[in-house]
């Protein structure tokens, strides 16, 4: 070995010996080999001495792991505060907290979207307008029996069936009044992420949609509150003004089936007003577009945004654990960026494999919390992610190797 190579080997041995002695991981073999080589600095070292130093240095580096010789060569010293280290740690901690808040908010929005979609699907499946017409027909066809039951005579069974139907209709009406405004709010949050955090801090009280709103300036065509105002108007929460004589005279006179249908709908509206129901067969909105918009936003969150955030959060926690150890060097900025980006990408890839296929109602395609947990795990330990990929590749290669061409 030439003189420059021997000098570098001795310097590396000194670095490892100094660090190991101060952290309680000193290898006696390294000290002996280093002392033996230094004793004969004036004479060329023997090959046996160099070999013993190499072996002792290898054992000492393994003893101080996970600190490496490269870390010691950079001049890192755990026993002295380096300039700018506190500021860098503060900035990294602040970014970690900000990432955690964003992850929590997106997860809460995702859960709200799942709840709203389930409620809207249930409302659609219950067919509110058909249920309203059925209850009204029951009341009209059995008017005498219901009146007798109210007076204390008659068939109680029929009256109980009628009251049960009215109660079910009122509960459905309450669900509509509670979840439809929330659905518009969630859709607005999914369409406008930058404004959604402030918007969902205070969700509007569903009871305010049961009263006539105050006059407000006209909203833009893209404002989601204009959709709610339009739905509120069509939904029947505003009592229409009594028509004037001129307006009544201007309405064309209907005859035949048109007059019967018009009178039927007017009677249903009056019946709904009596029992406190705000579902009108002619004005009840279809939720197909609203459900489609929320499902699109939920799919983006569940398949891309949230798994990536959980993977990045796992990588941040991994580096925070290393930073908390005073005997570990702080990772470089480049290492932080690459590890966090890789954690986010690993979380997204995990969501591809662990998200179930979408079903007819759209609920089966929603990513579960276990998917996000696995995304966090692979972000924390990238080795697990690579091991999973290697197993999938090996399984695919084995399946291709066993395949036989068709004869």
Domain final residue, candidates 240, 263, 283: 283
Q: Which tokens in the block code for residue 248?
A: 């009544």
For residue 114, tell me if it sits in a domain.
Answer: no
Residues 277 and 132 in one domain: yes
Cβ neighbors of 11 (< 8 A, separation 6 or more) are none
Query: Residue 374 sits in which domain range?
Result: 289-402
For range 5-28, the mean pLDDT: 88
Separation of alpha carbons 313 and 97, rounded Å? 9
Residues 311 and 229 in one domain: no
For residue 358, tell me if it sits in a domain.
Answer: yes
pLDDT score of 122 = 93
378: left (phi over 0), alpha (psi -120 to 50) or beta: alpha
CB 69 within 8 A of CB 19: no
- For residue 151, give Cα distances in angstroms to 137, 144, 154, 159, 298: 21, 11, 8, 11, 53
User: Model confidence over 314-349: pLDDT tens digits?
Assistant: 999 999 998 888 888 888 889 999 999 999 999 999
For residue 88, tell me if it sits in a domain.
Answer: no
For range 86-99, the mean pLDDT: 92
Is the pLDDT score of 296 beyond 50?
yes
pLDDT score of 261 = 74
For range 142-166, the mean pLDDT: 76
pLDDT score of 323 = 87
CA 255, distance to chain mean position in Å, is 56
Q: How confident is the model at residue 88 (pLDDT cuts 50, 70, 90)?
A: confident
pLDDT score of 225 = 47
Separation of alpha carbons 219 and 194, rounded Å? 19
Residues 296 and 277 in one domain: no
For range 358-371, the mean pLDDT: 62
- For residue 53, give Cα distances in angstroms to 5, 15, 224, 393, 402: 13, 13, 74, 42, 51
For residue 241, tell me if it sits in a domain.
Answer: yes
pLDDT score of 231 = 46
Residues 251 and 305 in one domain: no
For residue 206, tell me if it sits in a domain.
Answer: yes
Is the pLDDT score of 284 beyond 60?
yes
Domain final residue, candidates 283, 312, 329: 283
Length of the chain: 407
285 or 25: which leads in pLDDT: 25
Residues 296 and 329 in one domain: yes
CA 241, distance to chain mean position in Å, is 45
Q: How confident is the model at residue 41 (pLDDT cuts 50, 70, 90)?
A: low
pLDDT score of 220 = 40
Domain final residue, candidates 283, 314, 347: 283
Residues 314 and 275 in one domain: no
Residues 309 and 374 in one domain: yes
Number of domains composing the chain: 3
For residue 242, tell me if it sits in a domain.
Answer: yes
DSSP state of 332: P
pTM of the model: 0.74
pLDDT score of 227 = 47
> Cβ–Cβ contacts within 10 Å for residue 16, how many?
27
Residue 24 buriedness (CB in 10 A; 0-12 / 13-18 / 19+): exposed
Q: How confident is the model at residue 44 (pLDDT cuts 50, 70, 90)?
A: confident
Residues 143 and 268 in one domain: yes
User: Model confidence over 177-234: pLDDT tens digits?
Assistant: 899 999 999 998 888 764 554 454 444 444 444 444 444 344 444 444 454 455 445 4
For residue 113, tell me if it sits in a domain.
Answer: no
Is the pLDDT score of 396 beyond 70?
yes
pLDDT score of 373 = 92
Q: What are phi and psi of 172, to 5 degrees?
A: -60, -40
Q: How confident is the model at residue 55 (pLDDT cuts 50, 70, 90)?
A: very high
Residues 180 and 35 in one domain: no
pLDDT score of 268 = 82
């Amino acid at each position: 070995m030439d003189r420059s190579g021997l000098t570098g080997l001795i310097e590396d041995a000194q670095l490892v010996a100094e660090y190991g002695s101060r952290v309680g991981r000193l290898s006696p073999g390294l000290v002996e080999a280093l002392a033996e080589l230094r004793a004969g600095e004036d004479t060329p070292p023997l090959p046996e001495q160099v070999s013993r130093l190499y072996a002792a240095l290898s054992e000492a580096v393994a003893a101080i792991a996970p600190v490496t010789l490269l870390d010691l060569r950079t001049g890192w010293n755990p026993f002295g505060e380096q300039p700018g280290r506190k500021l860098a740690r503060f900035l990294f901690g602040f970014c970690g907290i900000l990432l955690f808040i964003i992850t929590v908010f997106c997860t809460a929005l995702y859960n709200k979207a799942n709840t709203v979609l389930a409620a809207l699907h249930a409302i659609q499946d219950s067919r509110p307008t058909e249920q309203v017409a059925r209850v009204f027909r029951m009341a009209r066809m059995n008017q005498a029996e219901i009146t007798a039951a109210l007076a204390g005579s008659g068939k109680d069974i029929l009256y109980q069936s009628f009251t049960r139907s009215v109660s079910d209709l009122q509960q459905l009406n309450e669900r509509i009044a509670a979840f439809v405004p929330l659905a518009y709010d969630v859709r607005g949050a999914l369409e406008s992420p930058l404004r959604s955090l402030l918007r969902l801090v205070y969700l509007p009280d569903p009871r305010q949609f049961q009263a006539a709103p105050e006059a407000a300036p006209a909203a833009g065509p893209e404002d989601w509150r204009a959709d709610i105002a339009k739905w509120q108007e069509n939904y029947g929460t505003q009592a229409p003004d009594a028509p004037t004589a001129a307006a009544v005279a201007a309405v064309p006179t209907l005859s035949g089936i048109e007059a019967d249908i018009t009178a039927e709908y007017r009677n249903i509206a009056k019946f709904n007003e009596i029992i406190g129901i705000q579902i009108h067969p002619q004005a009840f909105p279809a939720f197909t577009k609203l459900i489609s918009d929320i499902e699109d936003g939920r799919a983006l969150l569940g398949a891309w945004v949230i798994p990536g955030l959980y993977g990045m959060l796992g990588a941040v926690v991994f580096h925070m654990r290393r930073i908390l150890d005073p005997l570990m060097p702080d990772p470089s900025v480049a290492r932080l960026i690459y590890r966090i980006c890789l954690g986010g990408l690993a979380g997204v890839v995990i969501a591809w494999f662990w998200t179930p296929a979408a079903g007819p109602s759209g609920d089966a395609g929603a990513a579960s919390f276990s998917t996000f947990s696995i995304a966090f795990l692979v972000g924390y330990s990238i080795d697990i992610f690579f091991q999973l990929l290697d197993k999938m590749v090996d399984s695919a290669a084995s399946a291709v190797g066993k395949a036989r061409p068709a004869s």
